[in-house]
Structure 1
Amino acid sequence: MHSTEQRLNHAIVEFYEKLSSWEHAVVRDKGISLSQVHAIELLGGHGAMRMKELASKIGVTTGTLTVQIDKMVKAQWVNRRPHESDRRSILVELTDKGRALFLEHDALHLQLTTDLTANMSAEERAVLLNLLTRMNHAF
């Protein structure tokens, strides 16, 4: 018999795999990579960010991010600009085209959330939100 921790572990891994598969399917035909979508999601939710900060949040090196950002600048999804108070830092921000892509992708996430929680009561959704928030803070 599996312990609660083992069953919870398997449930989290299964959910991650299903969410990841859904995410790959969503971006597959958009001409954008998953790491680029993650950068757009972060910039859309947080606004302009330093390259180093964005790389840290995505979990890649600044060198790896630079390659992705170069492609995203070429696709006109983001711009680079100097930081106002730190001349050594470069900020990355969404263009209007990037903002539109963010809003489109965010709407897909909202629809998925609505679909996944459709059979939950308002109280169950509130408990789920509380638990996910606590789990995210633990990282």
Structure 2
Amino acid sequence: MCSSSESCDPKQGSARIGRLIMQLKRLERHPHQFGAAGCLTPSEIHTIDAIGVNGRILMSELAAHLGVTKGAVTQLISRLEAKDCVQRTPHTTDNRATLVSLTAKGRQAYLAHEQLNRQFYDKLSAQLTAQEIAIFEKCIDTFCEVLKK
């Protein structure tokens, strides 16, 4: 099944996973330009992405979706409000709940992020078969599950 002894060596795999984790940590610290929204951190753009996919979302649902505390979401939303990317509105029937939606600038950031994701998958599609991409995605899912523990 393995094409070379190097790719089957658990030590090499462990080293590759370690490099991936370090690269992800580096990326987390570096903002990226997303159109008119300007520089956004990965946490901010993924919050925008979660809101953009859902349209309007309760703050509590957003926290659950992102796997963070309500306090962390409140801080993220405050930063994104200051950047004019999101807006909070009171829930129409539950005065304890707050809905969050994207502003025009937030929508532009969401679309820019979607385009970046499409470019990534276009690059994968040019280099890998559909079956290889499916295996890659399964590996990512497995990796995420391991990291949750």
TM-score by length of 1: 0.72
Alignment of 1:57 with 2:62, yes or no, is no
> 1:80 corresponds to which residue?
88
**Superposition pairs of residues 51-130 of structure 1, within 5 angstroms:** 51-130=59-138
Q: Structure 1 residues 71-80 or 25-34, which shifts more?
A: 25-34
Q: Structure 1 residues 117-126 or 23-32, which shifts more?
A: 23-32
Alignment of 1:18 with 2:26, yes or no, is no
Alignment of 1:33 with 2:33, yes or no, is no
How much has 1:47 moved relative to structure 2? 2.9
Q: Deviations over 1:100-138 (max 9, x none)?
A: 111101211221232245221232223333444565577
Letter in 1 for 2:17: I
Change in CA separation of 1:106 and 1:126 when aligned onto 2, cut-off 3 Å: same
How much has 1:27 moved relative to structure 2? 0.9
CA contact (8 A) 2:63 2:69 kept: yes
CA contact (8 A) 2:28 2:41 kept: no
How much has 1:72 moved relative to structure 2? 1.5
Letter in 1 for 2:112: E
**Which runs of 5 or more residues in structure 1 are unaligned?**
none
User: Which of the pair has more CA radius of gyration?
Assistant: 2
Q: CA RMSD, aligned part only?
A: 3.2
TM-score by length of 2: 0.68
How much has 1:98 moved relative to structure 2? 0.7
Report the 3-state secondary structure (helix = DSSP H, G, I; strand = E; otherwise coil) of the residue aligned with 1:18: helix
- Number of residue equivalences: 138
Letter in 1 for 2:128: M
Q: Deviations over 1:11-53 (max 9, x none)?
A: 3343344355457656168332332112112112233222223
Equivalent pairs: percent with the same residue? 29
1-structure distance, mates of 2:86, 2:52? 11
